[in-house]
Amino acid sequence: MPETSSPSTSSSSSSSSRLILGCMGLGGGWDSQPLSEADIAKAQAAVEAALSVGITRFDHADIYTLGKAEQSFGELFKRQPSLRARLQLQSKCSIRFADATSPQRYDLSCAHILASVEASLKRLHTDHLEVLLLHRPDPLMEAAELAEAWTRLKAAGKVGRLGVSNMHAAQMRMISAAIGEPLAANQLEMSLLKRDWLDSGTCFNDGQAVPAASAWGDTLDFCQREGVELQAWGALARGLYSGAAPADAPVAVQATARLVADLAAQQGVSREALVLAWLLRHPAGIQAVIGSSDPARIRACAEAQQLSLSRELWYQLYLSARGRALP
C-alpha cells in the first residue's frame, strides 16, 4: 500500500515521493463536451496507479481541460469519499482565456483569486486545497489585493499554503512579503530538454551564457535558501527522450534519445525513469511533475526514485542534450 497522509490546511502535506502527478491530461478535451464516464474511469486509473507507487500529490489548475480535470476528481471523491484523505491537492489560478469581451490575460485580483478557488473547490468536491499556486505573474497585481485574498482564504481554511508558478525571485520576494509568510513552491519548466536554469550557472562568464542567467541563478538560490519547493513541469521533455525521437528533431535530441535508451537498458529501468533521475540528481531537491495519465507510464516514472546517477552518467546526458561542449 502507498504511504498516505491526511490533508492539512496549516502546511503543505508531505509525501514520500518526489514525483507529482500533473492532471492536465484528464477530463477529456479542451472543449465544451461534458465529462463522460470514460473520462472518470481514466482519472480513476491514473490515481490508482499513482497511489500504488507512492505518489500522493496531484497538480491541477482551474483551466485544465476547461475545468473538467478538476471535475473528474470531484466525481471520484463523490463516489469514494475516503479517497480524499489519501492524497494532497494543489491547483492554480490567474490564467484567463480570451472571450467575447476580453483578451487573454493574467488576473491576480482579489476578486478573481477568490472566485477561482471557490470554483475549483466546487469542481473538486472538497472544502480545501493543500496548496494554491499563482499560475502566471500578473503585471497589474497589487500586493494589498493579493494579501486580502490570501488572508480570507487562509482564515476560512480553504487553502493550506500559497505558492507560485513561472515566477522569478524578485516576484517571489514581493509576494512573500505581501502575505507575511514563506511561499510553498515555485513550479517552473525544467528538464533535460529545457536547461536554461542549469546553463545559466555552468556557462556563466562565457559566451554560451543564456540571456536570463542572473534571474535564473537568483531564483534557484532563493528557493534553496528559503526552503521553497522547486517543482519541474515538463519534466519528461514532452517524451522526446523516452520514445522514438521524430526524424526532423535536432541532431542532439535524436542522439540523446538513443543514449537514454542505451543507458536505461544498462541500468534495467525505463527510459522515463532515466530522464527523471537526471533531474532528481540535482542537489536543489527538484520535484518532478509528470503529465502522463497512462498507468503503465506512471509506474515506469516511479522507478526514477530508486535510481541514483553517477556524476559521469549525469554529465554524459547533460553534454549529449546540449549538443556541444561546456566552456
For residue 211, pLDDT over 80 is answered with no
Lowest mean pLDDT among 10-24, 116-130, 224-238: 10-24
Task: Return the residue matching grid coordinates 511533475.
Answer: 289
Domains assigned to the chain: 19-189 (3.20.20.100)
Rg, C-alpha atoms of the chain: 20
- Segment 279-291 shows an average pLDDT of 96
pLDDT of residue 217: 83
State pLDDT tens for residues 182-209. Answer: 999 999 999 999 999 999 888 887 877 7
For residue 38, pLDDT over 80 is answered with yes
pLDDT of residue 13: 44
Predicted TM-score (pTM) of this structure: 0.93
For residue 263, pLDDT over 60 is answered with yes
Between 212 and 133, the more confident residue is: 133
State pLDDT tens for residues 223-232. Answer: 999 999 999 9
Gap between the Cα atoms of 70 and 74, Å rounded: 6
Cβ count within 10 A of residue 254: 17
Gap between the Cα atoms of 58 and 70, Å rounded: 10
For residue 293, pLDDT over 60 is answered with yes
- Segment 213-230 shows an average pLDDT of 89
Helix (H, G, I), strand (E, B) or coil at 132: strand
Cβ count within 10 A of residue 325: 7
Confidence of residue 6 (pLDDT cuts 50, 70, 90): very low
Grid coordinates of 290: 509528470
One-letter identity of residue 133:
L
pLDDT of residue 3: 34
- Segment 35-53 shows an average pLDDT of 98
Cα angle for residues 174, 180, 186 (degrees, 5° grid): 55
Helix (H, G, I), strand (E, B) or coil at 161: strand
Gap between the Cα atoms of 193 and 174, Å rounded: 30
Give the number of C-alpha atoms closer than 13 A to the C-alpha of residue 11, restricted to the C-beta side: 6
Confidence of residue 74 (pLDDT cuts 50, 70, 90): very high
Q: Which residues are catalytic?
A: 64
For helices 169-179 and 213-226, angle between their N-to-C axes, nearest 10 degrees: 40
For residue 12, pLDDT over 90 is answered with no
- Segment 58-67 shows an average pLDDT of 98
Confidence of residue 213 (pLDDT cuts 50, 70, 90): low
- Segment 175-186 shows an average pLDDT of 97
